[in-house]
Amino acid sequence: MALAVQPDGKLLIAGTGQVNGTWNFVATRRTANGTAVDPTFSSGWSTIAFDVGGGLTDLPTAIALAGGRVVMAGEAQTTLGWLFAAARLDNAVISQDGFESGTTWFWESSQP
């Protein structure tokens, strides 16, 4: 799980959430006072899930705002083992394929 504060005071939160039986990167944004989900985040979605590991377990450990986009990084368990992974939420692009929003990257890791 990870937390970042945007320049406007809004909180970006990354964690792991179960979607359709697998554990995925999940991102959400709270209002500046932290009391509610920000309704302007990702065109009104309360959370965005990224299945970066291909159906196994994804563990985000960092979240940041880069160039106006939410970026998460961590590890993803794949059929090849554990890989370093990152996901970037595209600006205002929601559920292009009915599940994910954004793009993902993978790097090999020798760490379990």
pLDDT per residue over 46-93, tens digit each?
787 777 766 678 888 999 887 777 888 888 887 778 888 888 776 544
Angle at 81 between CA 77 and CA 86, to 5 degrees: 45
**pLDDT at position 105:** 60
**pLDDT at position 5:** 92
* Terminal Cα distance for the chain, rounded: 18
CATH number at residue 45: 2.40.128
Q: What is the spatial distance between Cα 4 and Cα 38, in angstroms, rounded to a whole number?
A: 14
Query: How confident is the prediction for the chain on average, in pLDDT?
Result: 77
Domain ranges, residue 29: 2-108
**pLDDT at position 84:** 85
Query: What domain count does the chain have?
Result: 1
